[in-house]
Amino acid sequence: MMLSPKLKSKCQRFISKAVIYILLSCLGFVIIYPLFGRVMLSIMDEYDLYDDTVRFFTRRLNFGNYSLAIHYMNYWDSLFKTVIYVLTAGICQLFSSVVIGYGMARFKFFGNRLLFMFLLLSLIVPPHLISLPLYLQFQQLKLLDNIFSIAILCLTGVGLKSGLLIFIMQQYFRGFPKELEESAMIDGAGPIRTFFSIALPSAVPMIATVFLFSVVWNWTDNFYTSTFLPGNTFLPRMLLGIKGVLQFDQQTRYGVFNLVISSLAENAGVLLLIIPLIIIFIVAQRYFVESIENTGIVG
Amino acid sequence: MKTKGSLVSRRQKYGYVFVLPYILGILFLFLTPIVQSLMISFGEVSTEKGFDIIVKGIQNYHHAFRVDPRYVPLLLESIGSMFATVPIILVVSFIVALLLKRDFKGRLVFRCIFFLPVIIASGIMKTLEFDDILSSAIVPGQTNLVTGEVLTTSQQVVTELLLNSNLSPAVSNYIITGITNILNVLNESGIQILIFLAALQTISPSLYEASAIEGATGWENFWKITLPMISPHILVVVVYTIINSFVDPNTNIMLYIRELTYEKFMFGYSAAMSWIYFLVISIFVALTFLITRPLIFYRDK
């Protein structure tokens, strides 16, 4: 059987599209499934859980879980504080990882290798091991419960997972062609100007990724915030507290406490924690799509 | 004319300008605490008069290897699970990133879905359990959604299929762990997928245009352009995945160390165990660098 070349290429394209959709859908299903369960649970009524005929799809639509979660997490207020905190930490981490990553990738100074080894060591050492001495240090400086403590950690590249962010940028700049920067140097631009006008614009997809990581990690982190900002009311802490507070409240009001209701409220709280991050991703993802073709740099 | 210094040494000084914050951070906010923890590992903490360290020499290290019956098996287990999961995570995340890079309808939806693991595997999301009371309303019986045991029937089918085939038990066991862990693997690959995706976006399209003029096939493009251009990022991902598989707070060894630290307050012994563990991880990271060094393509050479 002979196929015309046009038909053949059409067939090939169809098959490759089909493969993409099937593979991504299968893998995506595995990821979505538990989350789908959470979403379905969040609109269930307490009685749905006792009802054996209910699987996934509620019979008694109920948005009360969300209002409970919003009330007990003090949602809007803590959302606002979380956003401020995450933006501060994120911008500091972004700045430090780009600058330090560039410095380590581009300049051959004495001690560069040693610094790189410390970078890897900082990836290996889990934060809980060094948190106590750091806590004491910040206590002496009277910087506890002050956002400066986090800002200092992030700016100096030792904040929450900063090591990985620096590592990403460092490897990116090492793979970036040096010739462009050298020609800028010959034209009379200093290293700092070269950095801002040549290296930075080309790194937009990487910068967007690093910033996104930083935002997500700081958003859901409870370790750094509870260590250095013990009085914080950010979303993760409110979410972890929701069950206890709700149970206590029920007990004092009605003399009984209901584990199911507090679990349902906690589940709704989890979704309320995730939703802003998904919105941020949808807004930010176009920076991954725009590759360097738009920046006018040709490798 | 030597007052100004040569161009090279002036450039060197600019390097220090860029990394100055990091030098400060490493010296004061990283090494100081690290040295303290190393000191603790050679002694025991006494909280009777403030914060004192009683030096005991290598006793803690001796205890870890020769006395404690749990430590060494846990250490070996974590190494084994690293070898079992890291290659699967790398392959899966690379393939997904390649697919997500392509242009097709609904790409945004899929990108969102594959971004979810970044959230799911971060911070408190990792420690929040799916309540047993709640999961009963979704899945019949005892299954736990978080550990991905929902796919049990299909797992059994695959297991039987593999055991009946003529594959060697080692290979089929490896595939079985891969399949039973598919949710874990995907949840752990979010960061890797995004790094690969961003790396793929930074490859200049002009390279592909040039190779198309030369008449290269997609297969050749993949091996001669895509792979070398993103090889630095592959190194990042490999190193990160190895480290992450070791220091995941839910691994048994980390749970054990945390238990001894926060429940039994054996600070000295748990610090010693942590340090042995770092040493093991460092060896694997160093090996990764040694093995991959000739394979990675940097344009700064």
Q: Which tens digits make up the pLDDT trace of B97-123? A: 999 888 888 888 898 899 899 998 888
**Which segments within chain B are labelled E, that is strand?**
43-46, 52-55
CATH number at residue B112: 1.10.3720.10
Q: Please state, as a whole number, how many other Cβ atoms lie within 10 Å of the Cβ of residue A177.
A: 14
Q: How confident is the model at residue B132 (pLDDT cuts 50, 70, 90)?
A: low
From residue A100, alpha-carbon distances to A89, A202, B225 in Å are 16, 17, 28
Residue B161 has pLDDT above 60, yes or no: yes
Q: Which domain holds residue B291?
A: 63-295
Q: Which of B99, B235, B247 comes nearest A20 by C-beta?
A: B99
Q: Dihedral (C-alpha) B141, B142, B143, B145: value to the nearest 10 degrees?
A: 100
Cβ contact B182:B86 at 8 Å: no
Which structure tokens are listed for A134?
């750091």
Question: Looking at this protein, which amino acid is placed at residue A237?
Answer: R
**Confidence (pLDDT) at A289:** 57
Is B45 domain-assigned? no
In angstroms, the separation between the Cα of residue A41 and the nearest Cα of chain B is 7
Q: How confident is the model at residue B142 (pLDDT cuts 50, 70, 90)?
A: very low
Q: Dihedral (C-alpha) A141, A147, A151, A154: value to the nearest 10 degrees?
A: 100
**Confidence (pLDDT) at B153:** 54
Query: Dihedrals φ, ψ of B4, to 5°?
Result: -80, -25
Residue B12 has pLDDT above 90, yes or no: no
Nearest to A191 by CA among B264, B170, B63, B10: B10
In angstroms, the separation between the Cα of residue B171 and the nearest Cα of chain A is 22
Which structure tokens are listed for B68?
């404690």
**Confidence (pLDDT) at A24:** 92
Query: Dihedrals φ, ψ of A158, to 5°?
Result: -125, 20
The DSSP annotation for B201-225 comes to HTS-HHHHHHHHHHT--HHHHIIII
Q: How confident is the model at residue B208 (pLDDT cuts 50, 70, 90)?
A: confident
Nearest to B275 by CA among B70, B36, B51, B52: B36
Cα–Cα distance, A20 to A14 (Å, whole number): 10
Is B301 domain-assigned? no
Nearest to A261 by CA among A250, A252, A271, A275: A250
Q: Please state, as a whole number, how many other Cβ atoms lie within 10 Å of the Cβ of residue B3.
A: 4
Cα–Cα distance, A72 to A124 (Å, whole number): 37
**Confidence (pLDDT) at A295:** 45
**Confidence (pLDDT) at B150:** 46
Is B225 domain-assigned? yes
3-state secondary structure A105-133: HHCCCCCHHHHHHHHHHHHHCCHHHHHHH
Q: Dihedral (C-alpha) B23, B24, B26, B27: value to the nearest 10 degrees?
A: 110
**Confidence (pLDDT) at A136:** 84
Cβ contact A281:A212 at 8 Å: yes
Q: Which of B102, B198, B297 comes nearest A209 by C-beta?
A: B198
Cβ contact A43:A63 at 8 Å: yes
Classify the C-alpha dihedral B86-B88-B91-B96 as positive or negative. negative
Q: Which of residues 21-40 of A touch B (CB under 8 A)?
A: 21, 23-24, 27-28, 30-35, 37-38, 40
Cα–Cα distance, B65 to A159 (Å, whole number): 33
> Measured between beta carbons, which residues in chain A are less than 8 angstroms from residue B254?
126
> Measured between beta carbons, which residues in chain A are less than 8 angstroms from residue B246?
124
> Using the beta-carbon criterion (under 8 Å), do B29 and A158 form an inter-chain contact?
yes
- Which CATH number is associated with domain A76-232? 1.10.3720.10
> Using the beta-carbon criterion (under 8 Å), do B114 and A274 form an inter-chain contact?
no
**Confidence (pLDDT) at B131:** 65
Residue B172 has pLDDT above 70, yes or no: yes
> Using the beta-carbon criterion (under 8 Å), do A212 and B194 form an inter-chain contact?
yes
Q: How confident is the model at residue B254 (pLDDT cuts 50, 70, 90)?
A: confident
**Confidence (pLDDT) at B143:** 43
Nearest to B200 by CA among A164, A27, A177, A172: A172
Minimum Cα–Cα distance from A115: chain B residue: B23
The residue that leads in pLDDT, A117 or B37, is A117
Number of domains in chain B: 1
Cβ contact B202:A202 at 8 Å: yes
Is B259 domain-assigned? yes
> Measured between beta carbons, which residues in chain A are less than 8 angstroms from residue B204?
292-293, 297-299
Is B15 domain-assigned? no
- Which long-range CB contacts under 8 A does A236-241 form with residues at least 24 apart? A236/A273, A236/B123, A236/B124, A238/A72, A238/A73, A238/A74, A238/A75, A238/A78, A238/A269, A239/A73, A239/A266, A239/A269, A239/A270, A239/A273, A239/B124, A239/B128, A240/B124, A240/B128
The answer to whether residue A128 neighbours chain B at the CB level (below 8 Å) is yes
Is B47 domain-assigned? no
Residue B195 has pLDDT above 80, yes or no: yes
**Confidence (pLDDT) at A262:** 85
**Confidence (pLDDT) at B301:** 54
- Sorted by where each begins, the domain ranges of chain A are 76-232
Cα–Cα distance, B4 to B232 (Å, whole number): 35
Cα–Cα distance, B139 to B148 (Å, whole number): 11
Is B1 domain-assigned? no
**Confidence (pLDDT) at A297:** 47
Nearest to A31 by CA among B101, B92, B140, B78: B92
Q: Please state, as a whole number, how many other Cβ atoms lie within 10 Å of the Cβ of residue A7.
A: 10
| Consecutive 10-residue averages of pLDDT for chain A (299 residues) | 78 88 90 86 83 78 89 93 95 95 89 91 85 85 89 91 93 85 83 86 87 93 90 91 84 74 88 93 75 45
DSSP B27: I
Cα–Cα distance, A191 to A99 (Å, whole number): 12
Query: For the whole model, what pTM was predicted?
Result: 0.87
> Measured between beta carbons, which residues in chain A are less than 8 angstroms from residue B202?
172, 202-203, 205-206, 291-292
**Confidence (pLDDT) at B157:** 66
Cβ contact A118:B26 at 8 Å: yes
Cα–Cα distance, B243 to B86 (Å, whole number): 10
